[in-house]
Amino acid sequence: MMKKIIILFCLLPLWTNAELLRLCQESDAEDPKLHHYTVNNITYVGKHAAIAAQALTQLQYQFVIDRLPWKRCTTLVEMGVYTAAIGMGWTAERSEKYVFPPLSSTEAKSPFRLSSINYPIYVHADSQLKWDGTTFNNIKFGIAAPKGYVVEKLLRRMNVLLDTDVGVEAAFGLLINHRLDGLVLTENAGDTLLAQQQPGTIRKLEPYFYSQPTFVAFSKKQHLLGNAEMLQIWQQIAESREAFYQSTD
């Protein structure tokens, strides 16, 4: 009987990353038409998910990545239902709820970032909305942003936010129909949608409304990973990101 137990033990994986990690990222409604990438014969949506998947695969973790409305994703990570959120930017408020890698708050080019994200303001071509990097002028309806995004909170604090439950594609329609002053999106999502519009319909304001690096941020309530394991994942993300882009971005 002892020999059988020893044999069975030897057949177990040598690594201990056997518990399933659950990660989430933004939904298709918030970041549509992302490219698909294959990692270890599994398809992932968007560069951020692909980089995270490559890192976790390299470290031999078992994991799933779900696309959820971003506000729901962050809430479930905060609760500990999900292990981590993919593509979260650091803020002082978020740092009280989630675990970010070192240098998240001080380094625009943090080595542990997934990427650096710009958030332009998209407006109708004949819009009179003005943005000088600090203040908006000529607000009539308000400016929209995906729910739960840091830019949504910034717009709310500036008292210019127009709450809307529509996806970003529908929000572009509001811009075209002059029912929205502006729309703040990631440049990747916004430019993809911009390219699908009739020329001369939508334009971007300068300067950017906001810019920040984004990370895989872990729940403070998850118990599957300790500090050493999280740091190891962030370090692998740095390697996977460089390999993905073939150079640092």
Q: What is the pLDDT along the chain (249 residues), one digit of tens a residue?
A: 433 333 333 333 334 466 999 999 999 999 988 999 999 999 999 999 999 999 999 999 999 999 999 999 999 999 999 999 999 999 999 999 999 999 888 777 899 999 999 999 999 999 999 999 999 999 999 999 999 999 999 999 999 999 988 888 999 999 999 999 999 999 999 999 999 999 999 999 999 999 999 999 999 999 999 999 999 999 999 999 999 987 444
Answer yes or no: do 196 and 236 share one domain. Answer: no
Q: Do 55 and 76 sit in the same domain of this protein?
A: yes
Is 225 contained in some domain?
A: yes
Clarify whether residues 44 and 163 are in a common domain: no
Q: Are residues 127 and 185 in the same domain?
A: yes
Residue 239, classified by CB atoms within 10 Å of its CB into exposed (0-12), middle (13-18) or buried (19+), is middle
- pLDDT of 2 reads 35
Residue type, 88: M
pLDDT number for residue 18? 65
- pTM for this predicted structure: 0.87
Residue 182 is assigned to a structural domain of this protein: yes
Beta strands, E only, the chain:
21-25, 36-39, 42-45, 63-67, 84-89, 98-99, 115-124, 130-131, 136-137, 143-144, 182-184, 202-219
Tokens of 105: 């708050």
The crossing angle, in degrees rounded to 10, of helices 47-58 and 227-245 is 120
**83 and 149 share one domain:** no
Q: Is residue 87 in some structural domain? A: yes
Distance of CA 47 to the CA centre of its chain: 10
154 and 132 inside one domain: yes
Q: What is the DSSP string of 173-206?
A: HHHHTTS-SEEE--HHHHHHHHTTSPTTSEEEEE
For residues 173 and 138, membership in a common domain is answered with yes
Question: What six digits make up the tokens of 25?
Answer: 């990222």
Which residue segment(s) compose the domain that 32 sits in?
Answer: 16-115+212-245
**DSSP 8-state symbol, 110:** -
28 located within any domain: yes
Q: Are residues 122 and 101 in the same domain?
A: no
- Read off the CATH number of the domain in which 178 is found: 3.40.190.10
**CA 145, chain centre distance (Å):** 14
What is residue 69's predicted lDDT score, i.e. its pLDDT?
96
For residue 106, the model assigns a pLDDT of 75
Domain count of the fold of the chain: 2
Statement to judge: residues 199 and 154 lie in one domain: yes
Q: Do 86 and 134 share a structural domain?
A: no
Residue 29 lies in a domain: yes
What does each C-alpha distance from 214 to 49, 105, 107, 169 come to in angstroms? 12, 11, 11, 23
Burial of 154 (0-12, 13-18, 19+ CB in 10 A): middle
Residue 130 domain-assigned? yes
Asked if residue 223 and residue 150 are part of one domain, the reply reads no
Name residues whose C-beta falls within 8 Å of residue 5's C-beta, 6 or more positions apart in sequence: none
Q: Give the pLDDT of residue 4.
A: 37
- In terms of domains, do 126 and 238 share one? no
